[in-house]
Amino acid sequence: MPSPIIPSELMLRHLDVEEALFRLDKYLDAAFMAGHPSVRIIHGKGTGAVKNAVWERLSQHPLVKSYALAPYGQGDAGVTIVELERR
């Protein structure tokens, strides 16, 4: 069962790329250790710089099984759903 201490989503809106990636790395490790099967990364739409940096990092992260934009009405282009690897 996932840990209630580690939330199932991470808010990155209004951060610069460097800070967003720093928080993303820490969060993915914590979410994996907490047993979350998937998480939501809220990066917003804006210029797309944070979303693009997040997707680049997710494509290389060893704990990430897959990722995709959230469905319409659930964040769509402003949210990425990440499926984490199983232990």
* Residue at 70 is within a domain: no
Amino acid 65: pLDDT: 97
Alpha carbon of residue 21 to chain centroid: 10
Residue 58 has pLDDT above 60, yes or no: yes
Mean per-residue pLDDT for 68-85? Answer: 94
* Residue at 79 is within a domain: no
Amino acid 75: pLDDT: 87
Structurally, how many domains does the chain consist of? 1
Q: Domain residues for 29?
A: 16-35+48-62
* Residue at 29 is within a domain: yes
* Residue at 8 is within a domain: no
Listing DSSP states for 1-47 in one string gives ---SSS-SEEE-TT--HHHHHHHHHHHHHHHHHHT-SEEEEE--STT
Spell out a b/e string for 40-63, using b for 16 or more CB atoms within 10 Å of the CB, else e: bbebbeeeeebbebbbebbeebee
Comparison of pLDDT for 13 and 3, the residue scoring more:
13
At residue 45 the predicted structure's pLDDT band, cuts being 50, 70 and 90, is very high
